[in-house]
C-alpha cells in the first residue's frame, strides 16, 4: 500500500493503542489541529476538574483551602507528585507554581550567585526570547552587564546546537548554564545527561527549560543530577491558556534559600504563624512565592490524570510514529516545492514536532489555516507541525500533508501576504 494514501493512514490508526484517547478531547470542529505544542486542547477531564474546583469555591468559600475534593492549600504539592514521573523526579523535587518565565527568574535568583571571576551565565543563541530577557535582567540585578556576562553558544546551522560547542563554552568564568531540553524551533533534543555531567565536573550549576519536552519525551532529571528545571503546563500538558507552570529543584539543593521569597515559600505547618522570619519549606515548595492561582491550576488535575493513565513512554512511542510518518510523507511529496526539513532526522534527537522552513512560510501557514489545518508559524520562515500522541491520528497527518501539497500545487498560498499575524 502507498504510504501517501488514506488507507495507509487508516491502517496505522487501526493499530494505535492510544486512538481511544482522541474522544477525551474537545477537538475543534472541522479543524486538523497540529498546534498542541503551543496550546494543547481542552480535555473533558481538565474541564471537569476545573468545574469541581469552581464548585468548591461555590460550596465552601474560604474553607475551600482545606475542604472539598481538591483542597487548594495542598494542590501545588499534590500535582508535583503527579508530574514527577513525567520528568523523572522525586515527588518533593517538584512544585506546580508560577509560569515559565517567573520560575526561571526564581531559579536564577536562587542559583546565580556570582563570585570571584565566576560571574557569567551561559545560554544559547537559539533560545526563546523570554528566557533570554529573564537572564539579561537577572544579570543586571547582580550588578553586571548582560552584553558581557550573558554568553550565547552559537549554532553552526542556525537550527541546532552541538553539545561539544556548549561544553567548550563552559569556561572558568561561567557560574550558571541555562538551556532548553528541546529547542522550540527545530525540535532538537539536547543531551541533558551529558551536559549536566560536564557542568558538574566544572563546578557550574545547570538548569533546563522543559516547555517543549514535558509531556512529549521522558526525562530522568533526578538521576542525571540536573540542578533545576522549569516549564509551562499549557503546551503538551493541555492545562489551558495561562495555566500555572512547574519547577524542579534537585534534592541536593533542598534548604537553599529562595532568591525570591514570599509567604508560600514557607514550610506549610508554620506558614500561618505569621512570623517575620521565613522558615522555607525543605523541598521544592520553597520556590513558590505567593498565593497559587488556583483556578489556573485546576485543569491540570484532570489533564495529568490522562498522563498517569498512559505513561510517558507510550506517549513518546506514538509521537515518534506520528512524526516519522509525517516525515516520510514530507520527503516523498513536498520537497520539490521548496520545503527544507529543519528538525533533526534521527528520532532520538527529535522532540514532538516537525519543523519545516520555506521562504513563503507565513503565507503557507495562512493558507493552511484557511483550509482547516492549524500549524504554527515561527518568524522568519518556519512552520511547526505537531501531531500530538493523545489526540492526533495518522489520518490527521495524511490530511495535513495532502492539504499542504494541494496548496503548493495550486499556489493558493500566493493569495495571502507573507507576513506574520500579531500572534504567530
Ligand X SMILES: *Cc1c(COP(=O)(O)O)cnc(C)c1O
Which residues does the annotation place in the binding site?
100-101, 128-131, 209, 212, 234, 263, 291
- With respect to ligand X, which residue has the nearer C-beta, 180 or 387? 180
Find the shortest distance in angstroms from Cβ 143 to ligand X. 25
Interaction between residue 215 and ligand X (CB under 6 A): no
Interaction between residue 99 and ligand X (CB under 6 A): yes
* C-alpha cell, 230: 522549569
Find the shortest distance in angstroms from Cβ 283 to ligand X. 23
DSSP state of 224: T
Give the residue from 311, 342, 336, 93 showing the smallest Cα distance to 215: 311
* C-alpha cell, 253: 539543593
* C-alpha cell, 228: 533545576
Annotated binding site for pyridoxal 5'-phosphate: 100-101, 128-131, 209, 212, 234, 263, 291
Packing angle, helices 294-310 and 44-60, rounded to 10: 140
Interaction between residue 227 and ligand X (CB under 6 A): no
- With respect to ligand X, which residue has the nearer C-beta, 75 or 211? 211
- With respect to ligand X, which residue has the nearer C-beta, 238 or 266? 238
Among 73, 128, 144, 254, binds ligand X (CB under 6 A): 128
Strand partners, 230: 209, 247
DSSP letter for each residue of 135-199: HHHHHHHTT--HHHHEEEEPPSSSS---HHHHHHT--TTEEEEEEESB-TTT-BBP-HHHHHHHH
Among 40, 64, 180, 246, binds ligand X (CB under 6 A): 180
Interaction between residue 232 and ligand X (CB under 6 A): yes
Stretch that binds ligand X, among 97-105, 266-274, 360-368, 412-420 (CB under 6 A): 97-105
Find the shortest distance in angstroms from Cβ 366 to ligand X. 22
- With respect to ligand X, which residue has the nearer C-beta, 244 or 367? 244
For residues 247 and 115, the answer to whether their CB atoms sit within 8 Å is no
For residues 174 and 122, the answer to whether their CB atoms sit within 8 Å is yes
Interaction between residue 353 and ligand X (CB under 6 A): no
- With respect to ligand X, which residue has the nearer C-beta, 133 or 337? 133
Interaction between residue 247 and ligand X (CB under 6 A): no
Interaction between residue 35 and ligand X (CB under 6 A): no
* Contact flags string 130-149 toward ligand X, x per CB under 6 A: xx------------------
Residues in the chain, overall count: 424
Stretch that binds ligand X, among 128-136, 188-196, 335-343, 414-422 (CB under 6 A): 128-136
Torsion of CA 132, 172, 225, 134, to 10 degrees: -10
Find the shortest distance in angstroms from Cβ 77 to ligand X. 21
For residues 152 and 174, the answer to whether their CB atoms sit within 8 Å is no
Q: Is 218 helix (H, G, I), strand (E, B) or coil?
A: coil
- With respect to ligand X, which residue has the nearer C-beta, 83 or 99? 99
Distance CA(106)–CA(38), nearest Å, equals 23
Find the shortest distance in angstroms from Cβ 407 to ligand X. 27
Find the shortest distance in angstroms from Cβ 103 to ligand X. 8
Count residues contacting ligand X (CB under 6 A)?
12
Q: In what order do the strands lie in the sheet with 340-341?
A: 340-341, 354-357, 382-385, 376-378
Among 53, 82, 107, 211, binds ligand X (CB under 6 A): 211
For residues 175 and 203, the answer to whether their CB atoms sit within 8 Å is no
Give the residue from 356, 360, 348, 363 showing the smallest Cα distance to 401: 356
Interaction between residue 100 and ligand X (CB under 6 A): yes
User: Under the rule (CB under 6 A), what is the footprint of ligand X?
Assistant: 99-101, 128, 130-131, 180, 184, 209, 211-212, 232
Amino acid at each position: 500500500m502507498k504510504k501517501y494514501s488514506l488507507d495507509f493512514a487508516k491502517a496505522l490508526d487501526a493499530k494505535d493503542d492510544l486512538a481511544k484517547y482522541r474522544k477525551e478531547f474537545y477537538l475543534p470542529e472541522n479543524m486538523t489541529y497540529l498546534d498542541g505544542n503551543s496550546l494543547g486542547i481542552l480535555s473533558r477531564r481538565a474541564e471537569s476538574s476545573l468545574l469541581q474546583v469552581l464548585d468548591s469555591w461555590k460550596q465552601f468559600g474560604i474553607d475551600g483551602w482545606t475542604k472539598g475534593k481538591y483542597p487548594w492549600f495542598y494542590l501545588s504539592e499534590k500535582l508535583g507528585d503527579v508530574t514527577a514521573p513525567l520528568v523523572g523526579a522525586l515527588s518533593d523535587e517538584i512544585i506546580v507554581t508560577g509560569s515559565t518565565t517567573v520560575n526561571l527568574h526564581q531559579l536564577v535568583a536562587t542559583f546565580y550567585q556570582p563570585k570571584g571571576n565566576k560571574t557569567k551565565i551561559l545560554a544559547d543563541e537559539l533560545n526563546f526570547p523570554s528566557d533570554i530577557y529573564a537572564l539579561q535582567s537577572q544579570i543586571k540585578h547582580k550588578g553586571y552587564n548582560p552584553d558581557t556576562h550573558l554568553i550565547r553558544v552559537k549554532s553552526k546551522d542556525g537550527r541546532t546546537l552541538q553539545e561539544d560547542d556548549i561544553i567548550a563554552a563552559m569556561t572558568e568564568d561561567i557560574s550558571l548554564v541555562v538551556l532548553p531540553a528541546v529547542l522550540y524551533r527545530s525540535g532538537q533534543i539536547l543531551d541533558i545527561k551529558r551536559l549536566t555531567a560536564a557542568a558538574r565536573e566544572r563546578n557550574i550549576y545547570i538548569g533546563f527549560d522543559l516547555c517543549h519536552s514535558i509531556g512529549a519525551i521522558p526525562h530522568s532529571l533526578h538521576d542525571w543530577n540536573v540542578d533545576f528545571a522549569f516549564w509551562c503546563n499549557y503546551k503538551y500538558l493541555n492545562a489551558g491558556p495561562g495555566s500555572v507552570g512547574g519547577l524542579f529543584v534537585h534534592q541536593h539543593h533542598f534548604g537553599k534559600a529562595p532568591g525570591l521569597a514570599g509567604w508560600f515559600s514557607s514550610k506549610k505547618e508554620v506558614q500561618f504563624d505569621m512570623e517575620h522570619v521565613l522558615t522555607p519549606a525543605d523541598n521544592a515548595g520553597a520556590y513558590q512565592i505567593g498565593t497559587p492561582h488556583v483556578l489556573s491550576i485546576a485543569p491540570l488535575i484532570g489533564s495529568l490524570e490522562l498522563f498517569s493513565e498512559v505513561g510517558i513512554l507510550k506517549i513518546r512511542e506514538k509521537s515518534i510514529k506520528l512524526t516519522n510518518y509525517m516525515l516520510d510523507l514530507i520527503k516523498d511529496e513536498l520537497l520539490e516545492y521548496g520545503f527544507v526539513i529543519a528538525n533533526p532526522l534521527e528520532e532520538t534527537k527529535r522532540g514532538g514536532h516537525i519543523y519545516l522552513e520555506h521562504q513563503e512560510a507565513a503565507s503557507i501557514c495562512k493558507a493552511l489555516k484557511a483550509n482547516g489545518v492549524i500549524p504554527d508559524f515561527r518568524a522568519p520562515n518556519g512552520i511547526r507541525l505537531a501531531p500530538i500522541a493523545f489526540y492526533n491520528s495518522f489520518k490527521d497527518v495524511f490530511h495535513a500533508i495532502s492539504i499542504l501539497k494541494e496548496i503548493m500545487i495550486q499556489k493558493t498560498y500566493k493569495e495571502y501576504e507573507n507576513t506574520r499575524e500579531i500572534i504567530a
